[in-house]
Structure 1
Amino acid sequence: MQQIALGTTGLQVSTLCLGTMTWGSQNTQAEGHAQMDRALERGCSFWDTAEMYPVNPVRLETLGLTETIIGNWLAARGGRERLVLASKVPGGKGVAREGGPITGAVLRAAVEASLARLQTDYIDLYQLHWPNRAVYHFRRNWGYNPSGQNRAEIEANMIEVLEVAAALIAEGKIRHIALSNETAWGAAKWLALAQTHGLPRMATVQNEYSLLCRHFDTDWAELSALEEMPLLAFSPLATGLLTGKYAGDVTPEGSRRALNADLSGRVTPQVFPAVAAYMGIAARHGLDAAQMAIAFCRTRPFPCIPIIGATSLAQLDTALGAADLTLSAEVLAEIDAAHRAHPMPF
């Protein structure tokens, strides 16, 4: 699998990133280890996890279990240097620490706990899972209200977090600090404060992005391109919708929808016509629909690395195959037409 530069970090990463959030809930440790083995065999050496994983459901008693599964794999297999490993600390929208915000002290404690679970001395990319502020992600865009926030308090917290990140980098515990579920204003503010105060630069952002979720295509796209802040695109298959397995409003046994009926607000009356449009494009051009959706993310006019996830080795093999797929101009033109016809299906 091709290796590419990760923004301004100096790291080289695989063009696809392996997501891990089902290990410990939908997948056993043995299944997670098999996925790690297969990904590495196929050259996918950039892996993403989080303190709050596994999900579906998120439970206080399972926090950190996915990191533990990865740590056990590292202990058994060795070769930490083969990987670029990313994790995250949840803020006020998580179940950890009674839902408190990310502070400098929270950042340090979370990093040290993740290091212990992962059985490693360092994390390559450590992300703030959510801002402490109001954000529009996860279907909150329909009622998004950013007013009433205290800018001075926001900036003071950002500086505090960046100062602790600088100390953690100096101690060798993390290599880079990064964002997730962030806004364009938030990212610009983090970058400006880092430059003003000589503090670490936010390296990447992990936001939702797929054929069905295109919030990133305007202001965020400009910031990502000009600031060399790559998008780590989570849910490039829109939680499985873009595989076609839910077409006809069905719920296959053992699927994510069996655990989360509306796929966190993604199942709407508009979504199945949009899915059908993309399924039609794939069928007309002899493409696997899932591979087409993942490959689309890699065509964007901003740096974009799709995060793939699977609950079986067969699904993983399909997703990994997207690394070798180049979409034709004809396919991209049809995708553009489908997007205009079905612009915001959830």
Structure 2
Amino acid sequence: MDAIEVEGLKRRYAAEAGAGGDGFEAVRDVSFSVREGEIFALLGTNGAGKTSTVEVLEGLARPSAGVVRVLGFDPFSERSFVRPRTGVMLQEGGFPSELTVIETATMWAGVTSEARPPREALELVGLGGRTGVRVKQLSGGERRRLDLALALIGRPEVLFLDEPTTGMDPEGRRDTAELVRELRAEGTTVLLTTHYLEEAEQLADRLAIMQAGRIVTSGTPEQVVAARPSRITFRLPARFPPERLPLGVPAAVDGRVVTVKTHELQQALTELLLWARESGIALENLQARSASLEEAFLEIAQAGNRPGREDERAVTGVRA
């Protein structure tokens, strides 16, 4: 069953007074769904439309067009049915800086239905030893932990995490990832945005990458990565001309550095190594690796920045 359903979502920002024009369409006909108990990552460069999309799902904005359902309800017009069952971690919490951590959590629990005990929520995110510290004295990473604690205080069925680990140190990111996995195991549905692609690759059951307001690819991390070629790189001996390379796939040569992109990594690498042995040459700095989510992401971002790609982006969007 789907906890989140998005069909044909559009979000347009009106032009500023005196600016002229029809404004800016930040989200353009986006469709995807998130199953109950699933971690779904929404990725994209700055300005791709991620936050504009998530704000509609959180009920903070009305869509310009399309249908959005969270737990079966419209999160904007039926907010009273949705908000008590969801948790929201914005990019910035904006809590009063003079309050202590425990005072902030207690205040938030006071306006939250069926709230966890404040200290329990703080323990979940590793702030149990910082309860008496004022918010203004917290580090950036600790403030993000506090934001997460308050998002969890209502025991949400659906949790929205907008750049949850920004500003955290590696330990904080690791602890947060483990907590998100535990929440999924308990049945919580999680939709997150992040610029840490390794984090998305490790956490997400499925993901979608946005570019210029549209979803251009989606699926499991493995499916998204598998669509990109693996890469073999090495340096040829100075006496050896590139024309003698045996590979049945095109190779790019830059001086003595050779790069081979292939969807048949084992076959290409085997052919290359056998040829090198028979030719009696050593391939310097030989590296072979499968594609990564980062490579897929950067390829999409670079393609989207090239002129003349608007029509192509319009037809490559797929439903998640």
Same fold (TM over 0.5): no
- Relative to total residues, which structure has the larger strand share, 1 or 2? 2
Higher helix share: 1
* Structure number, greater radius of gyration: 2
Structure showing greater relative contact order (alpha-carbon pairs closer than 8 Å, 6 or more residues apart): 2
TM-score (norm 2): 0.31
